[in-house]
Structure 1
Amino acid sequence: MTWKDFRERYEEEKLATLADKTFLSATSALNHIERVLNPDRLSKLTAATMSQFQAKLRAEGMKDTTIACHLRAIKSALSWAASVGLIPKVPRIERPKRTKGERFMRGRPVTTEEYERMLQAVPKARPNDPEPWKRLLTGLWLSGLRLGEAVSLSWDQDAAFCVQLAGRRPVFRIYSEAQKSNRDQLLPMTPDFACWLLETPEADRVGPVFRLPGLVDGIPVQAARAGEIIRRIGAKAGVVVDREARWVNEKVIDSKTGKPTGERRRVLKEVPKYASAHDLRRAFANRWAPRVKPVVLQKLMRHADIQTTLKHYVDLDVDDMAEELWTSWGQGSVPAGPCGNTSGNTATNQEDSQKRALRNSLSRKAL
């Protein structure tokens, strides 16, 4: 089967039934296959060519996490092809693996001080319309929403993803077409975000919760563009969450004259990674992880897999965890010395010893 025929069938018969985000993720991966390998037939995708595909993407500076995402999408496509008899079996695809002790670091939770710096930096990145972007940053900080979710969040009850205020407590209502699980759900929101939403006058509770009109044509800004603007705000605020290797075009300097030759060369450089919308989401998770059980945080974060949620508990500060343990145990603070020698339980132990001695004495007299 030709690659073109396979792709047409896969998009029409399989991808058309999936969520929009899944469709975009799959087509992006297939586009990379065509760009890098340019196969004329589906059978050209073998274990060897997929290994070469990974190597070429890595040489271009693509992160292992992004490569792994593309490979998952490609493997799903090939699994479908095998299930309908287009290929005899799925070729072996080795995805990038972490070495022991290594983490795929893509960012970190921003601190409260960094978040406040980002708010102050909004006018530098958006001098003509700072207020909608300050509102979006505040909403992301308080809600833990993914950027795409925040952009699509609506006051309107017939929207795919909306705020429902009519019940006992404010909640999110998500219709099946708005999420990967393909099911309708009511999900909790945190009290601070709910109170912040309720500050909105009732007359304004129509349409998008976060209105982000474009400066030129007034068309609402989409999630991808909003992500770029938030990263620019992070850069203006100087909030660096990581460093990453990136291919950049560098001017070629003549070694003799010290002047640019007019040519450019592609070099791999380590550059700072500035705070993004997802780093605000990480901050939300870390703030609520000490306060709620993992299953509650999973609902707040809308994670399909509890293991994804548990990663946020790994990053908790050990002093915060210790304080939470002592508070739960009923102690106001950590005792000065060993638990067995505190003044409170020393008196209790002495009283218990006296009672035991009296019982023993009475028992001997009875005998």
Structure 2
Amino acid sequence: MHAIKVHVVSKGRKYLYMRFRCPLTGEEETRSTGETSPKEAAKAAAKWEAELQEGRYRKSAAMAWDQFREFYTDNWLVTLAPGTAVNYCATLNKFEEHCKPKRLGDLTTPRVTAFAAKLREAKCRPATIARHLRCLKAVSNWAHGEKLLAAVPTFKMPKRVAGAKLMRGRPITLEEFERMLQKVAENAPDEALWTFYLRGLWLSGLRLSESLTLSWDAKPGAIVVDLSGAYPMLRIPAEAEKGHRDRILPITPDFAELLQRVPDPQRRGRVFKVEGNRTKVGSTVSAIGKAAGVVVDDTDGKRKFASAHDLRRAFGARWSRKVMPTVLRELMRHSSITTTMGYYVGDDAEATAKALWEAQGDTLGDTSQNRALQKSGENRRKSLHSQ
């Protein structure tokens, strides 16, 4: 460890000064002790020296941007879930690319406004711009809390255009999912493992990164299957999921049935034994979706094929018809009921209409007139779908 020594010096001013030379860079820094007494100035110097030795002192907004990124990474990013840390790094990289900050003090309101404008010029979606701004705002708040940034810039989040879709994809249908299963053999190295994996995504509602940590065994950072109680559960540690909260989550009956088909001797290690990291596994799922011709978004002529997250969306859409929004929120692990309501509740008019028509027999009775009305509606729907 390099020794740091702070010396008290006189600059011919009212207050005595203290200074030190960085043993790594050779740069000298001075500051006022605020004291006229050599004894009190020595105490102030000793305090500053202790801060330097312990790494608690940093220059404020004058800190070089590269130095700040290193300090932020070492002291905060390492505490976040890996996926979250990746998102923050991506935002900081984008900010550097478009705004080229030299010092932390360059993180200002005009720069943030320019950053948002550059993202729009790059044809980023409003949701993507909002995500980058949220990450940058969180970084700014952290720097301000650490006394490194004097003021947090103003962030104006983009508003969603009325009628614009919330989702980048959509919930896929059962027929589309079955088409994907038929394409596993052509696009995945092990048909049995990948078929089991796709069924697991379809039935569990797990995010891609979460599915790859799902384990039969209790180990650090793993989401653990627990079939020992009256009801099957998932035990989710804070570091393994997006919400950063320790949770116990009920397993839906159909997913529990899939898990219980696994023979006892095979219930060791990861539940889904597909090989590859998050990026590779996600690419394989998307390749299967593309081979099956399952298009989930066609905005601006850019076709997006079914991905792992669209299987999660399908899980949410199915269960939104079976449970109350508060239960669905727990299943999806949304931080706010607003998210659940916005994405999964009341958004499928055709499914709502189908439920109304099927319920009609219960409300009006099983009459010949009612049966004829239902038959007419069914024939019309078949006709429309065949066009």
Distance 2:298 2:320 in 1: 26
Query: How far is the alpha carbon of 1:142 from its aligned partner?
Result: 0.9
List runs of 5+ in structure 2 lacking aligned partners. 1-61, 371-387
SS in 2 for 1:186: strand
Distance 1:209 1:242 in 2: 31
Equivalent AA in structure 2 for residue 137 of structure 1: L
Question: Which residue in 1 is equivalent to 2:42?
Answer: none
Question: Which residue in 2 is equivalent to 1:299?
Answer: 330
Equivalent AA in structure 2 for residue 293 of structure 1: M
Question: Which residue in 1 is equivalent to 2:281?
Answer: 226
From 291, 313, 319, the counterpart of 2:345: 313
Q: TM-score, normalised by structure 2?
A: 0.73
Find runs of 4+ consecutive structure 1 residues off by over 3 angstroms.
Answer: 180-183, 323-327, 330-338
Distance 2:68 2:329 in 1: 38
In the alignment, is the contact (CA less than 8 A) between 2:216 and 2:224 conserved in 1?
Answer: yes
Question: Which residue in 2 is equivalent to 1:21?
Answer: 83
Distance 1:299 1:123 in 2: 34
Question: Which residue in 2 is equivalent to 1:154?
Answer: 215
Query: How far is the alpha carbon of 1:244 from its aligned partner?
Result: 3.8
List runs of 5+ in structure 1 lacking aligned partners. 214-220, 246-269, 339-367
Change (3 A) 1:123 1:37: same
Equivalent AA in structure 1 for residue 347 of structure 2: D
Question: Which residue in 1 is equivalent to 2:290?
Answer: 235
In the alignment, is the contact (CA less than 8 A) between 1:155 and 1:205 conserved in 2?
Answer: yes
Equivalent AA in structure 2 for residue 236 of structure 1: A
In the alignment, is the contact (CA less than 8 A) between 1:326 and 1:334 conserved in 2?
Answer: no
How many residues align? The count is: 304
In the alignment, is the contact (CA less than 8 A) between 2:207 and 2:308 conserved in 1?
Answer: yes
Alignment of 1:237-256 (within 5 A): 237-245=292-300
Query: How far is the alpha carbon of 1:36 from its aligned partner?
Result: 2.1
Alignment of 1:200-219 (within 5 A): 200-213=262-275
Question: Which residue in 2 is equivalent to 1:362?
Answer: none
Q: Percent identity, please.
A: 43
Question: Which residue in 2 is equivalent to 1:286?
Answer: 317
Equivalent AA in structure 1 for residue 206 of structure 2: L
Q: TM-score, normalised by structure 1?
A: 0.77
Change (3 A) 1:326 1:155: farther
Can you list the C-alpha shifts for 1:25-78, whole angstroms capped at 9, x where unaligned? 211211111222221012222222222222222333332212211111111111
Question: Which residue in 2 is equivalent to 1:132?
Answer: 193
Instruction: Give the CA RMSD over aligned residues.
Output: 2.3
Question: Which residue in 1 is equivalent to 2:59?
Answer: none
Q: 1:37 and 2:95 equivalent?
A: no
Query: How far is the alpha carbon of 1:9 from its aligned partner?
Result: 2.2
Distance 1:44 1:173 in 2: 43
Question: Which residue in 1 is equivalent to 2:245?
Answer: 183
Equivalent AA in structure 2 for residue 68 of structure 1: A
SS in 2 for 1:78: helix
In the alignment, is the contact (CA less than 8 A) between 2:238 and 2:244 conserved in 1?
Answer: yes
Distance 1:224 1:181 in 2: 21
